[in-house]
Amino acid sequence: MTTASGRLFDSFFAGGFECSSHRRHDGRRLDLLAATGHDRHARADYAAMRAHGLRTVRDGLRWHLIEPAAGRRDWSSFLPMLQAATDEGLQPVWDLCHYGWPDDVDIWRPAFVDRFAAFAGAVARLVREHSEAVPIYCAVNEISYWSWAGGDQARMNPMAQGRGLELKHQLVRAAIAAIEAVREADPRARFVQVDPVVQVAAQSPGDEEEAAALCRVQHDGWLMLSGDLWPGLGGDPSYLDLLGVNYYSDNQWFLHGGAIPPGHPAYRPFRDILADVALRHGRPVFIAETGAEGPQRAPWLRYVCGEVAAAREAGVDVQGLCLYPVLDYPGWVDERHCETGLLGLADSAGRRPVHHDLDRELAEQQARFGEPRAWPAMDRAP
């Protein structure tokens, strides 16, 4: 399917910290790094990742806190996280824009692209000053999903309807400009382009084409970045570095119906979805988000790892798998306690309870994929 491109990540299994910072449909801004306590306990959280053999992490910057006004930047919300990751010898994948942006910027205007590019370049310069490691970034998280949720469904900022394609174009422009700015500051930088992968099945005769169209559109963000679709946006194959695919138990559904459960005749094996993505785009694949809630956490990881193993055996270049979110978190809409993590809520000292069923499953899968849980002290950054 794809040729092996060399290992990019320090560990095959990664831990992902929920870092959404968008405004909800009611106008309230979320800040999941604060809500989970990760911004206060980053050092303890990173040490816990290390203890569980997760040497790579997904994490994010909060643009709205760092740059509340053009030309004025305060790095105090990010520098402690950057330093802690360096001290613990971890490899971060930094999200530059995870749904949120400063309130004084209009996302629909050209100035949004310019402002974001300047911010991205400043981040890259700062990271290079504080770390000698090759940096990895996700410029704009989930371009296709964000365009649908914020541009068509008014579920999150910019709370629009019927403007999804317009928003997708704008986010692609912003991602391209950010990549260029980062590469100018640090040509070594690598990039993960993250979006969900889905499967939509028809239930009624005559719905097949609509269902197929929804399956095709999931690729549009990647095709725009590569220049294969809407080339006037400035896309180029060099912007499609590594594909980050997000996959959960509800990523397959019937058109005009509910979720398709695994094992149903209409359920498409995840291994086939991975093969399709890799073949279509000719890039390595990273499972950038996957997880389940409650008692399904361990069984879901077992299923996904089995599918990943099968895909790799078939020649698909899957570079890693990120447990996401790796911490329990308060739900976006109702702030309920979502028990999704390997680790739970932190106490005042930053200690978090471990979900033992998921931890045991993770250890078994790490052994299956040849991942040592413990790594030598001499391998740790000073």
How, if at all, do strands 337-338 and 329-330 pair?
A: antiparallel
The reply to whether 7 falls in a domain is: no
What CATH number did the domain enclosing 60 receive? 3.20.20.80
The reply to whether 381 falls in a domain is: no
Task: Show the domain range for 97.
Answer: 13-376
For the chain, 382 residues long, give each residue's pLDDT as a single digit of tens.
343 457 899 999 999 999 999 999 899 999 999 999 999 999 999 999 999 999 999 999 999 999 999 889 999 999 999 999 999 999 999 999 999 999 999 999 999 999 999 999 999 999 999 999 999 999 999 999 999 999 999 999 999 999 999 999 999 999 999 999 999 999 999 999 999 999 999 988 889 999 999 999 999 999 999 999 999 999 999 999 999 999 999 999 999 999 999 999 999 999 999 999 999 999 999 999 999 999 999 999 999 999 999 999 999 999 999 999 999 999 998 889 999 999 999 998 999 999 999 999 999 999 999 997 875 543 433 3
The reply to whether 2 falls in a domain is: no
The reply to whether 1 falls in a domain is: no
Residue type (1 letter), 345: L
How, if at all, do strands 329-330 and 190-196 pair?
A: unpaired
The reply to whether 72 falls in a domain is: yes
**Coil vs helix vs strand at 339:** coil
The reply to whether 4 falls in a domain is: no
CB-CB contact of 136 with 119 (8 Å): no
Dihedral angle of Cα 99, 96, 245, 200, to the nearest 10 degrees: 20
Q: What is the DSSP letter of 97?
A: E
> How many domains, in total, are found in the chain?
1
CB-CB contact of 218 with 259 (8 Å): no
Structure tokens at 72: 């004025």
